[in-house]
């Protein structure tokens, strides 16, 4: 099975990590360090995962690409 057909589920790990599971098998696929304290549950849509984090008193919505977990965007929010 290639990465284009895999589906993923995200779950908060620690205060600063998100665990990404392969939906088909339920096995842990990757742990992503998000660079701040998680203040909203991670959300997966297709091959994009978003999560709101707080660092140095500022909140950002961060978007990560799956399956490799690279940061795509970081948008400040009020």
The pTM for the full model equals 0.88
Residue-level pLDDT at 2:
54
Count CB neighbours of 1 within 10 A.
8
Distance, CA of 51 to chain centre: 6
CB 55 within 8 A of CB 35: yes
Structure tokens at 49: 């995962």
Domains, the chain, in order of start with CATH, read 8-77 (2.40.10)
Beta bridge mates, 20:
10, 30
Model confidence at 3, in pLDDT bands (50, 70, 90)? low
| Total residues belonging to the chain | 78
> Mind listing the pLDDT tens digit for each residue in 30-59?
999 999 999 999 999 999 999 999 999 999
Predicted confidence at residue 1, as pLDDT, reads 47
CB 57 within 8 A of CB 77: no
């Amino acid at each position: 099975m290639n990465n284009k057909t895999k589906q993923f589920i995200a779950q908060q790990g620690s205060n600063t990590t998100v665990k990404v599971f392969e939906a088909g098998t339920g096995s842990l696929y990757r742990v992503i360090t998000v660079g701040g304290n998680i203040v909203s549950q991670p959300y997966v849509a297709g091959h994009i995962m978003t999560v709101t984090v707080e660092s140095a008193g500022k909140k950002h919505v961060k978007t990560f690409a799956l399956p490799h977990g690279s940061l795509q965007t970081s948008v400040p929010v009020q």
